[in-house]
Amino acid sequence: MPRLLKTQIIGGGGMGTGLADKIGEQGHFVLVQEQNPRVYTSWSNTGCNDLYSYLAGRKLPKSVVFAEPLKKGARYRTAGFDYTIIAVPASQLQSVLERLYISKSGGPIVLLQKGVYCNGQAFRAPHELVLKQHRTSWPRRFNKGDWDPPIMTFTGSAFAKNILDGGPCGMILATSTVNMAHAKRFAGEILDPCGVFWTYLTSELRPVALFNALRTVSSCIAGALAGYMQDNDIESVEAFALQGIERERIMIARNLLGNATFEVFDPLSRVRSVLDADLLMCKSISSRNYDFGYRLGQGASASDALEATGQMGVVECLPNIDAFARIAIARSANWSERYPYLSGICRIINSQATVEEVAKQIMARRPRLA
């Protein structure tokens, strides 16, 4: 008989609740930590999380427990849990890590973030942010040759609703080579029994994080393009523009990762297939990044588009666009010429140009087909 596990999920939004539901169905104890008091009140009164419409009225398994929001000065702790899943947006990861006590007696940390952070001319992936915070918080222990916590990134072509509805969902579980045994155990103990996930393992933590973040940016730009073209009879160039977005995504990735041989650059690899499927899924208004971009394309301001998404202001593409733009500026004086789509969406968001002005400038460029 499989052993019953204790899992902590920090972040009780759609994805955190979806995972809690599926893990709890297997009989495992799940503690969900969410700072929004509305979530705790909803669960304690009804046994449901009514944060989003697709969650409302859905009773969670009895083994799933929502904790009261942490009080000032209190900390999250990994001790006593087989796994700690951090399911907050990338923009909130740092604040969670500042309150997280990572114990050697605790289990691996699983990250769900789709974002990167500017680090001068380079980028920092979410798992690197965890390691930096861990080493900074406990420098004396680390300098004595102590340990780093096992970290994994879990991502793929699935919305929270797809997980709740039973999938199937193509997913990637990325970790370092030295922690691959932990990833296999997590997949075998937690993911596979759920019957929802088709999980592929890879050791390409950093490349997967980069493609994850670029996906949110591409989704936003594609949405802005579709929103603008909705009322303009210029569909003849849309295919070229969409190809241009994809080329620019690969150009940025190549520029930041170099020409090393990674699965993410191989269109026939399973990892790249899942990442591309994720991008295809996010070319509809079901994706908050696409929805946000679509509203920009329709002429809404960034603040109005953000409010209209109805996602509590959580749109991953915004900090990612800012991070990639700052990295590009640091690396190249002519970055706007090199990356016209990234530059264009930055100008629209910052009210430096209208979507029509940006669209016409991009469409005036001869497509680079090679």
Task: Give the pLDDT confidence of 303-352 residue by residue, as tens digits.
Answer: 999 888 865 557 899 999 999 999 999 998 889 889 999 999 999 999 99
Is 65 inside a domain boundary? yes
The mean-pLDDT minimum among 9-13, 23-27, 202-206, 355-359 falls in 355-359
32-42: pLDDT as tens digits: 999 989 889 98
- Which are the contacts of 329, defined by CB distance < 8 A and separation ≥ 6? 335
Q: Indicate if 95 and 235 belong to the same structural domain.
A: no
Q: Degrees (nearest 5) of the Cα angle 12, 207, 226? A: 70
Mean pLDDT along residues 100-113: 93
pLDDT at 233 over 80: no
Confidence of residue 92 (pLDDT cuts 50, 70, 90): very high
0.85 exceeded by pTM: yes
Is 141 inside a domain boundary? yes
Q: Indicate if 85 and 234 belong to the same structural domain.
A: no
Residue 31 is part of which domain span?
6-203
Q: Indicate if 23 and 152 belong to the same structural domain.
A: yes
Q: Indicate if 26 and 175 belong to the same structural domain.
A: yes
Query: Distances from the Cα of 204 to the Cαs of 22, 176, 343, in angstroms?
Result: 26, 7, 28
- Which are the contacts of 90, defined by CB distance < 8 A and separation ≥ 6? 113, 114, 115, 116, 117, 126, 213, 316, 319, 320
Confidence of residue 234 (pLDDT cuts 50, 70, 90): low
Is 209 inside a domain boundary? no
3 state SS of 193: helix
What's residue 363's pLDDT? 73
pLDDT at 135 over 90: no
Mean pLDDT along residues 281-289: 81
What's residue 369's pLDDT? 46
Q: Indicate if 89 and 236 belong to the same structural domain.
A: no
pLDDT at 58 over 90: no
**Structurally, how many domains does the chain consist of?**
2
What is the domain-level CATH number for residue 328?
Answer: 1.10.1040.10
Q: Indicate if 25 and 89 belong to the same structural domain.
A: yes
Cα(256)–Cα(314) distance, integer angstroms: 26
Q: Indicate if 188 and 219 belong to the same structural domain.
A: no
- Using the 3D structure, point to which of 203, 230, 250 is the last residue of a domain: 203
Q: Indicate if 234 and 289 belong to the same structural domain.
A: yes
Q: Indicate if 241 and 152 belong to the same structural domain.
A: no
Mean pLDDT along residues 159-184: 91
282 vs 252, more confident: 252
- Using the 3D structure, point to which of 158, 180, 203 is the last residue of a domain: 203
Q: Indicate if 225 and 337 belong to the same structural domain.
A: yes
Q: Indicate if 54 and 148 belong to the same structural domain.
A: yes
The mean-pLDDT minimum among 1-10, 117-126, 150-159, 196-205 falls in 1-10
Q: Indicate if 61 and 135 belong to the same structural domain.
A: yes
What is the chain's mean pLDDT, rounded? 88
What's residue 370's pLDDT? 43
Query: Distances from the Cα of 96 to the Cαs of 7, 132, 332, 350, in angstroms?
Result: 17, 13, 33, 28
What's residue 137's pLDDT? 74
- Nearest alpha carbon to residue 311 among 290, 325, 296: 290
What's residue 100's pLDDT? 94
